[in-house]
Amino acid sequence: MTEPIYLDHNATTPVDPRVLEKMLPYFSEIYGNASSIDHLHGNRSKKAVDAARQTIAKLLGCRKDNEVIFTGGATEANNLALIGSYRRLREKGRHIISSAIEHPAVLDTLHYLENEGAEVTLLPVDCYGVVDIQALQAAIRSDTILISVMFANNEIGTIQPIKEIGEVSKKHGVLFHVDAAQAVGHEPLHVYDLNIDLLSFSAHKFYGPKGVGGLFVRTYAPMVRLDAVMFGGGQERGLRPGTLNVPAIVGMAEALAIAVQGQKAERERLGDLSATIKANLLAAFPGIIFNGHPEKRLQHNLNITIPGVEAKGLIHLLKDRLSFSAGSACSTTKVEPSHVLKAIGLSDDECFQTIRFGAGRSTMNSLQISEILIEGIRKLN
């Protein structure tokens, strides 16, 4: 049996073979603890971590290498950014603004902070999933300490007006955190140009290994200070203690360098590919709805509502040929309609008739994908 075509790159990406090759020596040959700087073995690892930090800092537009704090992924980076800044600033104010379509790594953390006295305003989005700048401005209060808005949505691909939100944050002296797990490596991004104070990212979304990511913590105008959330050996400026995962960090830097280098061409290629699939599906089924912003979106993402066709049924029917996701979040006990799709105005039924395609470097044949999907929809319609 041939492998199904993988179309879930928003969930995760495979490790690029060049990344794997770069990582391999750090599992067995260069194994020193990067904090053991008194001897050769430790120094070798530290050098690799320093070089990786420098590469990532440069590619994100940081001013200093130490603005990059390595974490175990974007969930952890989001927790550190939100909990760390709230606990540091709560004497000044307790109000946090975010959006209704954030990833659970942000929404659940904010919910947790409400138990510590935080007051959270979740901004609504329009039918494309875009946060309204005027609503943001209206929501800011004298006790607002933090704004957290994602760069690009993981379900519908919509890209937020990050520069404008950064300007509003700056004007009001409020910290601005961006969950950029879906954008880093895929979209042009410069933290200082965009007035970002804190930015979360994750290697497995850009062909790096799983379980490693980072948080950009601005050090200049303003110098951002966070309370530590975990305690231990003081690594990562005390913000993320624990022995550094050297192979993963080396791999993440290599993955980001490769992604940024090929970014422009890959965006164009995947934009064309997505447009072709969209056109083919619309030609066959004019009632299909494409969710998210038509232009301001991740080029490799398609979020599609197919009236009358249950997403789960379609995924199951095509599982030997295509691997893709439903637009609904599943828990172990029950299936909930996606909070993102609800926020852009879909009914519960429409949510359950929605699928997500995440194309990537291995996705080549838009015609074949379209044909498989059309055949599947016809069977279920």
Ligand X SMILES: Cc1ncc(COP(=O)(O)O)c(C=O)c1O
Nearer to ligand X, 94 or 103 (CB): 103
Nearer to ligand X, 156 or 260 (CB): 156
Given candidates 150, 217, 259, 351, which one binds ligand X under the rule CB under 6 A? 150
Using the rule CB under 6 A, give the single segment among 159-167, 179-187, 250-258, 333-341 that binds ligand X. Answer: 179-187
Q: Say whether residue 179 binds ligand X (CB under 6 A).
A: yes
Could you give the C-alpha distances from 236 to 134, 147, 226, 243, 326, in angstroms and in order? 37, 24, 12, 10, 37
Nearer to ligand X, 32 or 209 (CB): 209
**Which two three-digit tokens encode residue 353?**
């008739």
Q: Say whether residue 251 binds ligand X (CB under 6 A).
A: no
Nearer to ligand X, 76 or 309 (CB): 76
Q: Say whether residue 73 binds ligand X (CB under 6 A).
A: yes
Contacts of 372 (CB under 8 A, 6+ apart): 5, 318, 321, 322
Residue 84, classed as helix, strand or coil, is: helix
Nearer to ligand X, 25 or 211 (CB): 211
Given candidates 181, 228, 270, 373, which one binds ligand X under the rule CB under 6 A? 181
Contact at 8 Å (CB) between 336 and 328?
A: yes
In the chain, what is the straight-line distance between the N-terminal and C-terminal CA atoms, in Å? 27
d(CA 159, CA 153): 7
The residues that bridge with 178 in the sheet, in sequence order, are: 199
**Which two three-digit tokens encode residue 155?**
């379900």
- 330 assigned to active site: yes
Q: Say whether residue 75 binds ligand X (CB under 6 A).
A: yes
Q: Say whether residue 301 binds ligand X (CB under 6 A).
A: no
Contacts of 158 (CB under 8 A, 6+ apart): 101, 125, 128, 129, 130, 152, 292, 293, 296, 297
Distance in Å, CB of 171 to ligand X, minimum: 26
Given candidates 22, 94, 103, 293, which one binds ligand X under the rule CB under 6 A? 103
Distance in Å, CB of 296 to ligand X, minimum: 16
**Which two three-digit tokens encode residue 264?**
């422009």
**Which two three-digit tokens encode residue 166?**
């950064």
Interface of this chain with ligand X, residues 263 to 292, rule: CB under 6 A: none
Given candidates 57, 69, 74, 184, which one binds ligand X under the rule CB under 6 A? 74
Q: Say whether residue 32 binds ligand X (CB under 6 A).
A: no
| Contacts to ligand X by CB under 6 A | 73-75, 103, 105, 150, 154, 179, 181-182, 202, 213
Residues annotated as catalytic are 330
